[in-house]
Structure 1
């Protein structure tokens, strides 16, 4: 950069900023604070507007519920008038009073709830019609009917009142839909303002800070390269203007001090710059490969970064098929559709891309210097240079990636070493994706296996029982044995109810999700549900927590074991009392004890896999590396103990 004249200060003149610094209005902080305040005011205004719309929607939603109740309550009044039960007068008057209260509440609104009708003329007019229809026709007709007169008048007015209430509900819903659209539009506008404000702020920060810093960095870089004639333009009176002037003064002094060291410093600077670029490329690539995403996006991003780093005109990533004899094109960039079609799948020995997977890297500076250059597709496409490098993970070759150059290109040893390292990084990333997918698939398979076992242990057995009872019912019906039919019907009803309870229990278990620290709430909810279903008394003993909370995965398995144990109590124990004890200290302990009929462990062990509920609990305990023990005797109940030692606890 040539020496530029200072646009503000003549040569040799004293700079007032050197003495006092920039004035308040010229300071960079003043501009940043002012811009931030303007952006904050705009955003706060839009947020307040959207909050107001949300409040309006919430109030109108409550109004829809209360307006809909007008129809239901009017119908119930008609039913009470028609049935004329002994206490129908009291119930009818209570319904009428509730109806009057609802109309009054809708008219005045309840801001604290919130509940109010939208401020729309049509809605207000329609509400007055509904209120008038009730007060002048429906209410008096109901009073006449309560005094013993005919209900014909009320029942004749009822359809008209219901139609008017329906129209009011539809009007409120239409207004709500319009406000919902306005809310979404406001949110979109807020998003657009946020994006535009962010871009504007980025641009201003770039203009006020980043650009001067880049200029300063460029000046420092060029000065490090021994360009002591470089000068920065002083284009402002803020801190960066003062800094640029100081830089120019420093450059004048350094030009006289280091003239004899230009050659040596230039060489060192070039080496450091090259190393920095290599480190930046490795860091950027490592950070990208560790980001979540599918394999195709991973390979595409890798290829784009490598092309940009080495200035390649095209490139491709290929993987070896499981048989090891074909090379498939995964992604490409900068290649024609014809070339992609011709090399979509090819033999591993048919081209340089496949040979590199066996021999190592292949670098061709110029195809024209090789014999029969037109035999290769990339050469016929106009590429003169080629570099192919293996994608490896450990000792396994997964494929290759190639860089194509329109002009002859010689890769330096440092560049080839960097490309080989990048190929290893890509191979490790691909292998990690594969292992992660296998782990997720294995977890899904294990959970599905437990679900299938749960279905077999509950619903399948219940349906088999119902099938046998239905066959017996059919035989009894065909034989005309009504006494047998009467005995079988209660059994079928009990079987259906049992299957229904099993289905509800399984659905609740499948939906169970826990975050860190929610185990106690899940245990209490499970026990409360068990009490509602069975009526069995349950005592919950929770020791003071002295250990850290379990991670969500272990919490969920503990909760599943508790649910399965209580399910076994409900189905088989015929118990009157259950005690659940939970202790979370250095070790984690859970016990479930009932006073039911118990079972003979020897008999159950002889059945092998017959009792799937116990096996499910054992598998879940093994999944979190916990110990599960069963203590049971016929007629003396069952005790289930789960022990998770400190050494097997996962970090929360």
Structure 2
């Protein structure tokens, strides 16, 4: 990629690397070329001193033939030659120094070779001779004087050579400093350029992208990246802009969906609230006009509709009964009520129709929902719609559901009424049978005895016979009175909220206290649930059986046991250790046993009476809880109620 950030940073690093390598290489090269200059300068400085030492050895000579001085001078000259042609100086000269250095060196060398060394050689040759002539002495002195005369200029040339070496060494150091400064300046410039590029091409785009990312994190997808270059960050900015655009679309779609879901949830909540309030009102109290008006008010408050009405009737009926309404004045025309009732009832389906408002020409939109439970329609639920309102589908379904709850409440109320009638008819049948088998038979017996008494009086029979009839009458009256009291006690029996076990325990305790006979009670019904009618029949059978034990068995002990297994099979047994019975068929004609048999049939069970092997009587009642509410006698009674 031509404008890649990586390529740019790589270029900057490469430039910095080249500058660093250049600085190091130049330093190494200059240091290499400058190497030996100090030694050469030192060596050149010794040439000046050596020249003066040679001059000193010439000046301090005391005699013409002085072997020691000659040797010393020759040694100094040899040393001077070594120093002049030393490798220290020639190494510097071989590195190509400045021309001034070479020129001054060659000047020193030529003066030494041409002027200074010939005089010294002549001097040393003459001074080595044992006997000198006058001419030789004069030449010796001339050589000495010539050297001493030339030495100062020669030393000045040497000084020029040393100064040229120093200047050349300083120039090389200056070159090194200039190169270092230039390279450092270039490095600093590259660093500044890289920092500027980093700020403009990296930091600013990153800050812009970070600000955009933070805005997007807080839900603002309208921000866009301003940096759209050709490098990686520019491509990232373009990608972010595309992503923000897509997220904006997605977020807007999600917001629309959330608003829709929220609206749906609000509708569901309002629907549930209305259904809950309607169900609670219809179930907490008996169905009445006040309860239905409260339900209509709930509908008006939650759906925003106007007056509501509940009419009872079926499709095809000419007249409907207005059961409950929140409208003060009926909107149906008195002249056309029959046809308008047909508009409300319709064909058994939800529909909307219009009627003229009372006292005006304006039409009112009315929605009619059938009050139906399964296939039975009881009427319609009518609500008036505001002029600009059109019911939505969920509102129509909600009104239909409320109407079905009202239908269910009407059906339950009818079932409760029918159940009460059934219980009433059932108990009346039992009362009639007991009156027939007890008081009616006693009255018949008394009627016969009264007839016998009248006949005895009319025929003026013996007083003793009349007294026997009178005693029979008294005995029959006492028996009838006793039976009436027992029947009154039985009819006044109430089933409280206590369970069957506690009720039977109280009944057993009552008979035990009345008779003084110990009566054991075994309760093993567990969690079996009995209907109120079944509880009454069980209690009455046990009471009748215990009454027979007290009156006729001459027993000293009795036992009542109630058992119920996991299948709902119930067994009730009443045992005593009395005199027993001779014939069950005869037994069934006395002591209220026919009533016990009839109650067992109402329970869908079987009642048996048998003597125990060790003496006494046992009465067993067997039935199933599920059969107790579905017996033939009960079905027959229900049919009688249906047909009046």
**TM, length-normalised to structure 1:** 0.49
Greater radius of gyration (CA): 2
